[in-house]
Amino acid sequence: MKRLNFAKLLVLILSTSFLTSCDKKEETPSNNLRLNFTGSYQNSGSMSSGRVKSAMQVTSFMVNIEGVELEYDDNDPLFTSGAVASDVELDGPFEVELISNGSGLTSTLANVFLPVAAYDEIEFKIREGKNPDTELFDKSVIIKGMVGELPFVFWTDENDEVEIEFEDSEDLVLTPEELSVLLVEFDLSKLFDPVNGGIDLSLAQDDNSDGIIEIYEGGPDGNTDLAKQIWEKFEQAIEAFEEKYDD
């Protein structure tokens, strides 16, 4: 197996990597690409208020993904315009839980067989969920955790689009004989670290005194401005990543 790491961000780490099996198979597999999303969080212990430093925790992270698209590297010899009609699209939606009980999870969005080619970019959309039977209904991102002794929940229905370009020397090259695993990682470690420019959740309030800090626009605890700051930081991290790897 070989692992290729592409990039990491300072605030919200968004990275891609892929694993390629080095073992040739006698028969053509039913799929040659596994698309995984994963999440991670390390407690930095950075809090500016009187709350204990170790109290800030992220225990759950969910996101709704739609419109995943893999784009061919049309400069690669493997690509021929007559062999394939267009880039590969997976509609979704994919409601994925990437952190649960404080531990990172890896969710497989799809196992698919794609045309033999070199791929140089993946795009996907973060959109609010449409399934009324799930927690992500009318929400695009949900983050839960603890601030001091109180649980918090942040959610938003904001949308964003993400474009991740692979470095030219490290295109994702698919063949019929090998299984490749493309991994997209969200690391929230710096998102709530004020020392590194993150959001200070010690400023969040529980105005209705129900024992839960609710952080979303128009919420009962008066944390609308804080919710906007969290989403803006989320977007800024994605934009910084895209600018760094934009050809």
For every residue of 69-119, DSSP letters joined together read EEEE-TTSTT--TTT-SS-EEE---EEEEEEETTEE-EEEEEEE---SEEE
- What are phi and psi for residue 138, nearest 5 degrees? 65, 20
Q: How many CA atoms lie within 13 A of 155 on its CB side?
A: 19
CA-nearest of 35, 56, 34 to 46 is 56
- Those residues with Cβ within 8 angstroms of residue 198's Cβ, 6 or more apart along the chain or in another chain: 11, 46, 190, 191, 192, 233
Determine how many CB atoms are found less than 10 A away from the CB of residue 216. Answer: 21
CA distance 239 to 122: 15
CA distance 39 to 69: 20
Ordered by start, the domain boundaries in the chain are 2-244
CA distance 1 to 155: 37
What's the whole-model pTM score?
Answer: 0.82
Which amino acid appears at position 151 of this protein?
P
CA distance 179 to 29: 8
Residue 103 tokens read as 């531990």
Residue 217 tokens read as 């626009």
DSSP state of 227: H
Cα torsion 112, 114, 116, 119: sign:
negative
* Strand partners for 37: 107, 184
Q: pLDDT truncated to tens, each residue of the chain (247 aa)? A: 233 333 333 234 445 555 554 444 444 456 678 888 888 888 655 555 544 444 789 999 999 999 898 888 777 766 655 555 456 788 889 999 999 999 999 999 988 888 777 888 889 999 999 999 999 999 999 999 999 889 999 999 999 998 888 765 567 777 777 788 888 888 888 788 887 778 889 889 999 999 999 999 999 999 999 999 999 998 888 887 666 655 5
Cα torsion 78, 21, 29, 163: sign:
negative
